[in-house]
Structure 1
Amino acid sequence: MKRYDYIIAGGGLAGLSLAYYMNQSVLRNKQILILDRDEKNKNDRTWCFWETDRESPFDPIVFRKWPEVYFYGSGGFEKKLDLGNYAYKWIRGIDFYNFVKTDLAANPNITFLQTNVGRLTSTADGGFVITEAGQFIADYVFDSVTSLRLDNKKRENMLQHFKGWEISTPQPSFDPDVPIMMDYRIAQTGLGVRFSYVLPVDEKRAFVEYTVFSDKLLEPAEYDRELHTYIRDVLNIQDFEIHHEEFGVIPMTDELPETPRDSRVIRIGTSGGYVKASSGYAFKRTQWLTQELVSQILTTGEPSPPKATLHSWFKRLMDSTLLNVLLRERHSGEVIFTHLYKKNLTPKLLTFMDGKASFADELRIMSTVPLWAFTKGMVDTLIKRF
């Protein structure tokens, strides 16, 4: 049984991000094993996020970026949002995989192994991993393959599920300078919140996605039907060709993994609660949290989770409250998000959604949502927990 310094179980966004930041530090001299069942040679993901336009390690692979976005909300509200010092960025999965794998391939201390991961166990000697290709042990194992339970009755559990098509049209149909970040001009049928977005490649090509926040998936044919309806009736496109499609499910949950502080198996990524519970955004949070993990190892020698503070507890409570409001249909999600974008400066709102706003700004932004619905949601959330 071969021993490594670190094993990364799962070579997706979180696993490769962690390996990338390790490789930028003295940890590059450690023996690191990355396990994943896939080669990561397909464009299976689309990541969109906002960030201030400073230099970022992934700037070379940003496929498109924009200083403005369209928002279409309830009651006919529509606005071109100026993002201020933020840019809205689009990174394709295949570009991210190739960029990081190329960087890591130059380090002989990093080993990739394509295999299915079975059991992961914390022992006195380290993290123990059983795979189809054999058994391995390391000082620490970083686990992004174990699923969250999503069945804790004391927590709020919702799913973000989506299907997208990259389409082309014979005539100019898109504004390449401004994407549609959220579009509620679609039927809010059934449970949950539904919206679409459009990422233009050029005037004749774009990625169009239909997204639902709910606790249950739709029938497969419904995603296709709704995409066709949106493209035909809202975008007014009758003739188009589909070149690529993407389907995914992301948990929007306030559940946190139950990991003892002395465990040698550390949960990361979706498995570790990295996805923003109230929005489903993951790319930037994954960068922040994996960088923080590397910093902790360099500082203390141990990847200990950060200690909770009163402010971090309050931010998680706000995420939980929004999930409670949406799941129990205490108020229309379409109206809630319209209020947020209509009544707040966009850069301030984006900082808030990143979890980086001051406590005073958080209170100001929360005052623009339907207060009675959110009060009931917060009370219900607290009662369930305690």
Structure 2
Amino acid sequence: MKRYDYIIAGGGLAGLSLAYHLNQSILRTKSILIIDKDLKTKNDRTWCFWEKGEQNPFEQIVFRKWNQVYFYGSEGFAKTLDLDDYYYKWIKGIDFYDFVRTDLVTNPNIVFLNATIERIRDTPDGGFVITDQGQYMADYVFDSITPLKLNLPGQHNLLQHFKGWEIVSPKPVFDPTCPTMMDYRVEQNGTGVRFGYVLPIDSYRALVEYTLFSDKLLEPTEYDAELHTYIRDYLKIEDFSIEQEEFGVIPMTDEPADDKELKHIVRIGTSGGYVKASTGYAFSRTQRFTQQLIGQLLTVGSPVRRRKTIRSFFKGLQDSTLLNVLLYGRHSGSNIFTMLYKRNPTPRLFAFLDEDTHLMDDLRIMATVPLGAFTKGMLHALVKRL
């Protein structure tokens, strides 16, 4: 049985980000095994995120970026949002996979294994991984494949699910200088929230997505029907061809990572709480959390479980409150997001969603949502936690 310093279980966003940042540090001399059942040769993901300037280590593979975005809200509200010193950026999954793999293959200490992981176990001697191609041991296993339970009575669980088409129109119908970040004009059915968004590639081509925050998936044909309706009725495009398509489901949950009792296994990615519970955004948080993890390995020699602080408690409660409001239909989700973007400067909202604001900014933003619904949601969230 082969032993490594680190095993990364899962070669998606979190696993490859961790491997990339390890390879940029002095920990690149450690023996590292990356296990994934998929070779990552398809463009199966789209990551959009905002950040200030060009500070991202993956800046050279940013496919498109914009300093302004369209926002279409409820009740006729529409606005071009100026992002100030932020950029809204788009990275294609295949570009990320290729970029990271090209970097990692130059290091002989990093080994890739294309295999299915059958079990991950914590033992007194280290993290133990069983695959369909063999068994492996490591000082630490960074696990991004163990699913969340998503059924705990004290937590809130929604799904962000979406289908997107990269479409081509015979006419120049898109504005390549400005994407549509959120479009809440689409029909809102039931609880949760639904919106479209458009990422233009040029005047003729764009990725068009239909997204829902809800507790249940649609039937496959429903996504297609909603996309057709959105493209026809709101984008006013009758004639187009579909070049590519993508589908995804991201848990939006306040369920904590279940690894506190594990000595040699550390949950990362969705399993580790890297997805922002109230929005489903993960790319920037993944970079921040994996770099923090490497900082711990460098300074204390082992991962440090994230401790609850007063600040993290209140940030988590804010996420739980919004999930509660949406899950129990306490107020229209489209109206909530419209109010947030109508009543707040976009850079302040971005900083808030990045958990990079102080108490006064948090209070300013919280004052712009329906206070009755959010007070009920917060009290119920507290009761569920207790």
Residue in structure 2 matched with residue 338 of structure 1 by the alignment? 338
Q: Which runs of 5+ in 1 are unaligned?
A: none
- Partner SS state of residue 75, structure 1: coil
On the 8 A contact 2:176/2:202 being kept in 1, the answer is: yes
How far did 1:185 drift? 1.1
Write the mapping of 1:166-245 to structure 2, written as runs, cut at 5 A.
Answer: 166-245=166-245
On the 8 A contact 2:160/2:280 being kept in 1, the answer is: yes
Distance 2:106 2:236 in 1: 48
On the 8 A contact 1:127/1:138 being kept in 2, the answer is: yes
Distance 2:306 2:190 in 1: 39
Distance 2:18 2:30 in 1: 13
On the 8 A contact 1:261/1:304 being kept in 2, the answer is: no
- Partner SS state of residue 290, structure 1: helix
Residue in structure 1 matched with residue 313 of structure 2 by the alignment? 313
Write the mapping of 1:1-386 to structure 2, written as runs, cut at 5 A.
Answer: 1-260=1-260, 263-386=263-386
How far did 1:186 drift? 0.7
| Alignment-mate amino acid for residue 281 of structure 1 | Y
Identity of aligned residues (%): 65
- Partner SS state of residue 75, structure 2: helix
Distance 1:115 1:171 in 2: 45
| Alignment-mate amino acid for residue 154 of structure 1 | G
- Partner SS state of residue 55, structure 1: coil
On the 8 A contact 1:261/1:305 being kept in 2, the answer is: no
Distance 1:258 1:64 in 2: 36
| Alignment-mate amino acid for residue 234 of structure 1 | Y
TM-score by length of 1: 0.99
- Partner SS state of residue 226, structure 2: helix
- Partner SS state of residue 107, structure 1: coil
| Alignment-mate amino acid for residue 229 of structure 2 | T
- How many residue pairs end up in the alignment? 386
How far did 1:263 drift? 1.8
Distance 2:350 2:230 in 1: 26
1:241-277 per-residue CA deviation (whole Å, 9 max, x = no partner) reads 0000000000000001221255201000001111000
Greater shift in the superposed pair: 372-381 or 253-262: 253-262
Greater shift in the superposed pair: 268-277 or 48-57: 48-57
Distance 1:293 1:261 in 2: 18
Distance 2:258 2:17 in 1: 23
How far did 1:161 drift? 0.3
How far did 1:190 drift? 3.0
Distance 1:257 1:246 in 2: 28
TM-score by length of 2: 0.99
| Alignment-mate amino acid for residue 222 of structure 2 | E
On the 8 A contact 2:191/2:326 being kept in 1, the answer is: no
- Partner SS state of residue 103, structure 2: helix
1:106-163 per-residue CA deviation (whole Å, 9 max, x = no partner) reads 0000000000011111111000000001000000000000000000011000000000
Q: Which runs of 5+ in 2 are unaligned?
A: none
Distance 1:289 1:206 in 2: 31
Distance 1:24 1:303 in 2: 18
Distance 1:249 1:228 in 2: 20
Note the aligned Cα RMSD (angstroms): 0.7
Distance 1:120 1:245 in 2: 33
Distance 2:330 2:97 in 1: 40
1:28-64 per-residue CA deviation (whole Å, 9 max, x = no partner) reads 0000000000000100000000000133210000000
1:194-245 per-residue CA deviation (whole Å, 9 max, x = no partner) reads 0000000000000000000000000110000000000001000000000000
